[in-house]
Amino acid sequence: MKVTTMTLTRRRQTVFPLEWCRRVGLEHGGPLNVFDLGEQGLLIRPVKPLSKAEVAKLLAQPAAGKHSPKEAAAIVARALQEARDE
């Protein structure tokens, strides 16, 4: 494990090490998931986009029926999370 010191500004901004950003595909920025582990610190992981196969699998699912826009958004969000977790 390599240790790197980072600085947090008054506006709660920081710059991640370039080597790590390149390794995880974030050299141009991107979304991160941040998990608060309490006293043990933070776990920061890049959000990986779905592969073409994962998107195709989601689109191939049969229609679930009529839903309100809010219900439909929740169903899509749940399906995306399940595809990422697989």
Domains and CATH numbers, the chain: 1-48 (2.10.260), 52-85 (no CATH)
* Residue 65 to residue 73: CA distance in whole angstroms: 13
**Strand partners of residue 33:** 45
Q: What is the pLDDT along the chain (86 residues), one digit of tens a residue?
A: 788 888 999 999 999 999 999 998 899 998 999 999 999 998 999 988 778 888 888 788 777 678 788 888 888 888 888 777 76
**Strand partners of residue 44:** 34
Question: pTM score, two decimals?
Answer: 0.53
76 with 84: CB under 8 angstroms?
A: no
